[in-house]
Structures are given as C-alpha cells and as structure tokens.
Structure 1
C-alpha cells in the first residue's frame, strides 16, 4: 500500500517544485484518478472475497477459473471508464472548478494517465488473487518495484536529464505508465506460469458469465462504495476551490499525506478480507469475530501514534511540497486537524472491507453512502460555513467520529446474523 500510494505522492512532490499552478492542477486530478483506482480496488475486493472463500472450501480449480475471469472483467470495465474519461477531460475538470491557468496542465497529465491506466488494473487485481491464496509478500514486492521505477523516472522525465527533454506534467504521467507496464508483465507471468493461479487461455462464454455473476455480485457494490469516496472528494474539492488555488493545492497535498498516514489501515483492509473469507468458507466464525475486534483496537492505537508524529512533522512536510507561504500554512492546519479522525476512519474502512468479505456487499455500500453523504461531506460543508477552510477540516473529523459508531454497531449486528445462519446450517447437517 505504501508503494501504491507513493505514485500520487511522488508525482505531487516533484510537480510541487514546478509551481503552485501545477500543484493545484495535480490536486484537481486526484478525485478522478482515485475514482478509477477505487473501481479497481472494488473489483479486487470482489475477486479476493470469491477466490478466498472457494479456496477455503478446497476447490482450487474453481478458484483458478474465477481468478482468470476477474482479470478480464476488470480490464474491460477500466478500459471503458478510461475512454469515457479521456473524451470528457475538459468539461469534467471545469465542473470541478479548474480554470484556464490549471486546465492545460491537467490535460497534459490526464491524457497520458488515461492511456496507461489499463496497465494499472491488472497488477492490482492480480495482487488480490495472490492475497486470496495467502501470499501478501509477493504483491508488496511487485508494487514496491513499480513505486521504485516511478520514483526514479519522475524527476528525469519531469525536469529532463541529458538528452531526455523536460516533459513537465506529461513526464509524471509517463513515469507512472512505464512502472505500471512493468508490474503488469510481472504479475501475469507469476499468475500464469510461476504459480498457476490462472488459466493461460481465453475462457468460454458460459464460464466467463458464471464467474462474472459471482464476482460482480460483490465487486460491483464494493467498487461503487470505493468510487463514492472520490465523488465526495470531488464535491469537497469544488467547495475548497471557493477559497482559492492555494486552498486547493493544500487540500490536495493533505489528501496525499492522508493516504500515507492511513497506509497501515489500507493494508489491513486488503489483508483482513481474505482471512475473513477463508474462515467463512471453512466455517470458523469465531475467528472472524476475533480478527475484526483485535484489528479495530490495533487501528485506534496505531492512528493515535500517527497523529502524535504528524503534529511534529507538519511544517517539514508542508515546506517539502510548496514554497508558497499561504499553501504551507494551510497544509500545516490540515495535518494538525484531520488526523484526529483517522482512527475512526480506519474503523469505517475495516468494517466495509469485512462486510464485503462476509459476502454482504450491499451493507458495505449502504455504510459508504451514509458516511460520505450523511456525515463526512455535510459536516465538512457546515464546518466550512462556520469556520472557513479550518472549520471544514474540523467538520470532517466530527463526521468520521459519528460514522464510526454506526459502522461498529452495523458489523456486530450483521455478524450475529451470519452466526445464526451458520448455526442453523450446522444443525441441519447433523439432522
């Protein structure tokens, strides 16, 4: 997860050296790029839940079938979304609040980003297959390789080096494209040849349809839930844009810092679901309950430690991303306020991923809708009306804290229902 989030963070870091307008431009792209990434993550969640449960039952051939078809489904869906995005760059970003000063930079970045995005989906969904089989080490190595390639190429392609011309925003996007392409080649080789977790042939139509029904039953709601986050971020970005380009730039940097500050939570949200799904398939409901509760306690303690660390690192982080005094000040306030709610946000994320692992994707989707459009965005908006940009930050924290209580209550209730259903099934078998 560090490697995955580092793509946007490193791009933002080097682009920040170009100026405030370029930094604001890359900040405008975050809700859109995260929409595509969220779709991919959602499909990965569906893939992981289905494959892990089947593996928990011991059916390796069916797991292989689902894994193969999951890659094809994901590629088709992301390709379609990227084509639509490519054709609507200008009107979409104008809707988000981009103006004539930032729009040219946005187009330079997004035109390349959309073209290469299909190379992002295969490593991410392929890594979900590996995690579903119990291997979390190899996916981290693949993403770390991609992150390293991106970090090396970014300054070279953005600012130029020797015979390589300075490509600016385009260079950042090309660096990501190259790193994704390498990741695609590695994951396909591992899955098809080294591990034998997918078939090396195109599946039949009936086989594809059967897998699609099972995977998308979880993948669609999970993708929808994940895509709600960037939609909410887009709304907030438009609200923040009222306060000026400096506020947008600071908000974009803050969101990228947040992605790193919450990396352990995000990692757990990727590794906990296969554990839950495998134990669900094997009938070990008590282990599911124990895993959720212990992980939730760990997240609260961990994020409190992260908040304490960020209190001291706010100024160095802000200075690293910008030399504009106003932007630096706003970044600091973001880091001093928003991480107060990261523990609660972590519980919300883990609850949603756990519900998907229990094959209850509509419950997870409902919680996502409630979190973003009943708590997070409205509370942030009201905070902004009362206290300006600083009030907006406080409102977001309050929204996360309120939603945490709803999430914990919902999970406990749903898990009790799963336990009751499991007990009935066991009793029926004995009779």
Structure 2
C-alpha cells in the first residue's frame, strides 16, 4: 500500500501547506461534530419547555463525557503510533498499531456503554440540584443518557477511525463521513423530537429522548462507513483482520501512551461534573445558559482544536522521520496562527454575542429570557481566553504527537484544577458573585494552562519518539 498523499510534504518542504492541509478538514469535522449538539439544542430550544430541555443536555453532557473519556483517550495512542510509524516508513507496523487500537477501544466501548446505561441514575444523583432543576430537568437528562449510552460502541467506532486516519495524514475522509452523518442527524432530529405522522412514516414525539435516538442512528452509519474505509479501501493505515487479535505487547504500548490521555480526559470530565454540580445549585435559566454557552464555546474552540490535532500529526511524523527541528518549527507556526485566529474570533463574539445566543433559544418564557441574558454575559466574559486556547491546544498537540501524554496530562490538570475549578468556587460562592463568578472562573483556566505549557515547551525535552526507527533504535518519550 502506498503512503498517504501528504506524507512527503509533512516531513519535507514548506510547513505552511501541510499544516493547513491537515488542519482545515479537522476543523470542519469538529464543526460537524458540534453540529450534532447544536442541532439538538436548536430543536429542543423550540419545545414547550425550552429551558428544561436544553438544561437536560447541560447536565447530561459532562456525565456522558466522563465515561466516554476513558476509551476516547486511547485513540490518542493509535494516532501517535500510526503517525510515528508512518513517518519512519514502517507501514506494516502502522497497520498493526491501528488494528490493535481499534480492537482495544472496541472492547472498552462495550464495557463503558454497559456501565453508563446501568449507572445513569447514580451519576445524576451526584449533582446537588436546585429543587426545580431536580424536578424538571434531571428526569429529562436521564432519558437522554440511557439512549446515548446504548450507542457508545458506535460513537467510539467513529472516534477511533478518525484518530487513526489523522495519524496517517488523511483528515479529509473522516470529514466526508462526518458530513454524511450530520445531515442524517439534522433530518432525524425533528422527526423524533416532535414526532411525524404522514403516510407510512409514524414517529412518536419523544422530546429529549428523541434527540438521543437521532444521534445514535447517525453514529451507527458513521461507524459502518468508517470500518468500510479502514478495511475496504487504501485511504488509511493497512489494517488486516489478523491485526485485530489483541497482543499483550501492543496492548501495553497502547496503554502506556493512552492511559495518561484517558486520565487527562477523565479528569477534564470530573472537572466539568464539579462545575456542573456548582451550576446546578442555581435555577434552570442559569443551568441552561451554562450549557448553551459551553456549546457556543465548543464552536469557537474549533480552529484551535484543528491546529492542535494537525500539530499532533506533524510532530509525530517528523519525529518518526528524525526531523525534530522541523517538528519544533511546526509547533511555533501553529501556535502563532492559533493565537491570531482566536483573537479575531474573540472580537466577533464580543461584538455579536446577543444575536448569536438568540439564534439558539426562543425567548418565549420568562426563564428563556433570563437564559438568553445569562448566556450573552457568559460568552462575552469568556472571549478573554480565546487567544490562549489557541496556544494551549497547539502545545498539547505537540506533546501528544511526541508521545509525551503525561506532560499533556499535567498541563490539562493545571488548566482545570488550578485555573478553573477553585476559581469558579471562590468567585461564585465565597466572593458571592453568583453566575458571573462562574463565567469569570471558567475563562481563567486556559490562560493558566497556556502559560505553563508554553514555558515547559521551551525546555525542548519533548523531542524523542516512542517507536523504533528502521534500525530498531527507538527512544522513549521524555516527560
């Protein structure tokens, strides 16, 4: 099988072209990923009780993310191993790494889905909810979560497919697959949320639960297409059926690289749950504004995430090709671009916060009006951190591409558990700033993380690989 079409440009020649060739499909893919959630929010924001419906997603998402992060972190190992083996010219090893990662993550997905489905009520019980939130919002969140966890293997299926293709240098194919399934989700959402009874089509109105059903069906299609691409086409790493037989040596390698990333994502989810627990002590409008604001921030996050994941591939393949100097230059270029783009996005968000928030929820009730007001305040305050988000995601991507997932873990923890969670508590409850204290505290985490991660990056101790080169002389990553 021939290598990826971008391989020569990733490890040779200009840095600008391969960086953006990798990054823009990732940005579009993540935009489409967010479109799943945005579609849910828009349709649920037009139900009879929009604040309760949107609030249910606000409570459900961090709990879902907690369990999904356990398996999702191991896709980082697959991406890193495929990138470094591809850069070193080891196509057989790249295919084996991809197959082993796919098999390992699939097993985890089944376990995680079962735990999530059976433990939904226990997870929601962790939240010290306001009485009205407990009565109106939490039952809806429970309905959503149960259906969502049934589709966990399919959700993981697309995630691991996308990560393996990204490590190989092919970011356009996952984008195309995501486009197909997002269109499907947008079509199915209103059918299941509001119901449809025309001719042979008879969908009962399912409300919040219907949004989860639409997502589940769309993910099934995404995973089916992804598996066809991996096994039936030559667009990615050369996986063969025998590569799916788990081998202890490979599992150890995947766990060694992936466990810190899984821990990183899990602790991020725990931080989100802690923050959500604080938010849940307020009424439904604040809960809904928090969820709505976070979904908008996830849109803003896309350019930074795209550059960060492109940096992951650039660093992985260049270190595999013994081009550490080129890897470092790629990181500096991506960080500069990320900061500049995110600063421009901040200016737009600051100027148009009210019409942006107004698109996603109809101000038809008193609670909905308050939700819009709080959401606008939240978005405007968080624009302060946007440029720092760009820098942090690129530097974390560099650490992951080098296999330094423990280093990425440390600075993610710094951003969340030093810069964000305690600050939110102090400002919202000790300083008694209420919701505004939450919004301000949320903005500080990425600023703290970006400063720390960048300072550590300048030490240069991240430049070793985690795979063996053609001569069999691999170097362990430095933490």
| Alignment correspondent of 1:400 | 446
State whether residues 307 and 338 of structure 2, in contact with CA within 8 Å, keep that contact through their aligned partners in structure 1. no
The Cα of 1:280 is off from its aligned counterpart by 0.4
Of 43, 67, 78, which residue of structure 2 is paired with 1:14? Answer: 43
Corresponding residue number in structure 2 for 1:90: 121
**1:31 alignment partner, one of 41, 51, 62:** 62
Work out whether residues 276 and 357 of structure 1, in 8 Å CA contact, stay in contact via their aligned partners in 2: yes
Is residue 70–residue 263 contact of structure 2 (8 Å, CA) maintained in 1? yes
Report the TM-score, using the length of structure 2 for normalisation.
0.84
CA distance in 1, matches of 2:345, 2:163: 27
Matches within 5 A, 1:329-344: 329-344=373-388
Say whether residues 1:380 and 2:409 are aligned partners: no
Whether the aligned pair in 2 keeps the contact of 1:40 and 1:125 (CA below 8 Å) is: no
Structure 1: any 5+ residue segments left out of the alignment? none
Q: Could you give the per-residue CA deviations for residues 113-153 of structure 1, whole angstroms, max 9, x where no partner exists?
A: 00012101111111111112211111111112111111111
1:247 matched to 2:286? yes
Contact residue 258 and residue 339 of structure 1 kept, 8 A: no
- Count of residues in Structure 1 that have an aligned counterpart in Structure 2: 422
Whole-Å Cα distance in 1 between the matches of residues 70 and 464 of structure 2? 30
- The equivalent of 1:197 in structure 2 is 237
Tell me by how many angstroms 1:273 deviates.
0.7
8 Å contact kept, 1:90–1:103 = no
Q: Which moved more, 1:305-314 or 1:112-121?
A: 305-314
Distance in 2 of aligned mates of 1:263 and 1:325: 28
In 2, Cα distance between the equivalents of 1:420 and 1:315?
47
- What secondary structure does 2:352 align onto? helix
Measured after TM superposition, the shift of residue 411 of structure 1 is 1.6
1:143 is matched with 178
TM, length-normalised to structure 1: 0.93
CA–CA distance in structure 1, aligned partners of residues 237 and 412 of structure 2: 32
| Structure 2 residue aligned with 1:216 | 255
Task: Name the Cα RMSD after superposition.
Answer: 2.2
Matched, 1:302 2:372: no
Aligned to 1:65: 96
Question: Does structure 1 residue 55 correspond to structure 2 residue 86?
Answer: yes
- The one-character-per-residue Cα deviations of 1:13-55 (angstroms, maximum 9, x if unpaired) are 2112222111111110110222344345422211110111011
| Aligned pair partner of 1:81 in 84, 102, 112 | 112
Structure with greater helix share of residues: 1
Q: CA deviation at 1:276?
A: 0.6
